[in-house]
Amino acid sequence: MPAIPQDRKTRETYIAVLLMLAEADNRDHKNEIAFINHVATRIGLSEQDVQRIDKHPENLEFVLPKDEQARMNLLYHLLFLMKIDGAVGEKEKKLCHEVGLRLGFNYRMVNELIEVMDRYIGKRIPRNTMLNIIRKYMN
């Protein structure tokens, strides 16, 4: 089972970051919201929590996950959210880079992962493609 941020503030931040990425291209896409709601449910938040976070992000205390697996899961969720609407925009890439750095990941690793997302829009990413990139930078 994937690592789930333990405290509520971190889980809310996790969803807020996904919402920021979804809004980066100034387009609402039903698949993005469905994906975010699915992630929220998996980490123990409701759709009402997602709506509250979306409407009042200023009420959040921004706390990123400390656990490496939870940080990697957030990066993965960001990457897959980027391509879910069929396009990877420059603002989305920039935000993903910024969050990746704040999560403590190598800029080049994040860049390569973004390139994979861009290359495989509308297609299934070959098995181990992303893992191979991560291994290259984590060793």
- Domain of 47? 8-138
In this structure, the number of other CB atoms found within 10 A of the CB of residue 31 comes to 12
* Two structure tokens written together for 44: 């123990």
Tell whether 97 is covered by a domain. yes
What are the tens digits of pLDDT across the range 69-104?
A: 999 999 999 999 999 988 899 999 999 999 999 999
pTM (two decimals): 0.89
Number of domains comprising the chain: 1
Residue 112 placed within a domain: yes
Do the domain assignments include residue 103?
yes
What digits encode the pLDDT tens for the residues 10-51?
A: 999 999 999 999 999 887 789 999 999 999 999 999 999 999
Burial of 128 (0-12, 13-18, 19+ CB in 10 A): exposed
Q: What is the CATH number of the domain that holds 104?
A: 1.10.3680.10
- Rounded Cα–Cα distance for residues 119 and 58 (Å): 35
Instruction: Flag whether 2 is in a domain.
Output: no
Query: Considering the domain boundaries, does residue 50 fall inside one?
Result: yes
Mind giving me the DSSP string for 80-118?
Answer: HHHHTTS---HHHHHHHHHHHHHTT--HHHHHHHHHHHH
